[in-house]
Amino acid sequence: MNRMYSPWREVYMQSFKDDKPAGKDGKSVFADIPPEEDEKRFVLFRGKSCFIIMNLYPYNCGHLMVIPYLQTTEFSELDPATKLEVMELTDLSIRALRLTLKPQGFNVGANLGRIAGGSVDNHIHFHVVPRWEGDTNFMPVLADAKVLSNDMKSTYKNLKNAFADLTRSEEQ
């Protein structure tokens, strides 16, 4: 198997030395993001028990994550209201992505535990990855190539507007 070197992920992966979670006092990189840092950290939407953030190291353009405020590794530790909000915000994410990036499909799921692929395995989170026919799909594995065609900041602004429009129309 060929290996592809991804130097842009090194800084991120270094935050997990010795299998200890990143951040102070065992807090994850997703814990306690202050609202004034939303744009800097690419937080798109805040709900009652979860928030939506852009993945800084996306599998595809527009790769979003739905993250409970409660830092836990176990799905079973989320209360019923939080589990419901995870699904509602996943749906909201899909609708916002359809408006802005017009994907033809989605991958939705979670990597529970490091062995399952979770690089932030101390804080459960759920991925929403937009997909297009002919996108990179298995290109990183088969051809040592990964193409990301969108600028994160402009994608953030477009998605932020879409979230605002969608939630405003739901409130009316």
Does the annotation mark 125 as catalytic? yes
Candidate list 63, 123, 125, 127, residue with the active-site label: 125
Residues 6+ apart with CB under 8 A from 124: 67, 68, 72, 73, 74, 75, 78, 110, 112
| Burial class of 70 by CB neighbour count within 10 A (0 to 12, 13 to 18, 19+) | middle
Residue with tokens 């991120």: 12
What does the block give as tokens for 93?
Answer: 């994410």
Rounded Cα distance, 50 and 63, in Å: 17
Active site members: 125
